[in-house]
Amino acid sequence: MADGAGRSDAIKALRPPVFFKRTNSFNRAVDLWPLAALTKAVQETQALELSCKQTGAPDALLCKRYVAGLAARAVLAARR
């Protein structure tokens, strides 16, 4: 979409494809998460993976905390 493709064409081009039963929720997520926020989330996810592998901290706890933070950002974005 950032390169000018329409939403439906961009979603159809994803590999692996979006499961057909999840298309509506995926479209809502696209509305909530602008490209800059997605880019930041990807970078944070990579940092989380590195933390899980290097720090010795409980990986389940780190992941739960991270997912809770993502969910909180989504809720805030939905209220705007």
Residues 38 and 69 in one domain: yes
Same domain, 26 and 56: no
Q: Is residue 38 domain-shared with residue 73, that is, in the same domain?
A: yes
Residue 52: is it exposed, middle or buried by C-beta count within 10 angstroms (0-12/13-18/19+)? middle
Residue ranges making up the domain that contains 71? 34-80
**pLDDT tens digit string along 13-66?**
999 999 999 999 999 888 888 888 889 999 999 999 998 999 888 999 999 999
Q: What is the pLDDT of residue 79?
A: 81
> Do 41 and 27 belong to one domain?
no
The number of domains in the chain is 2
pTM given for the model = 0.68
Quote the CA–CA distance of 39 and 34 in Å, as a whole number: 9
Task: Based on the fold, state whether residues 53 and 69 are members of the same structural domain.
Answer: yes
Domain identity same for 43 and 79: yes
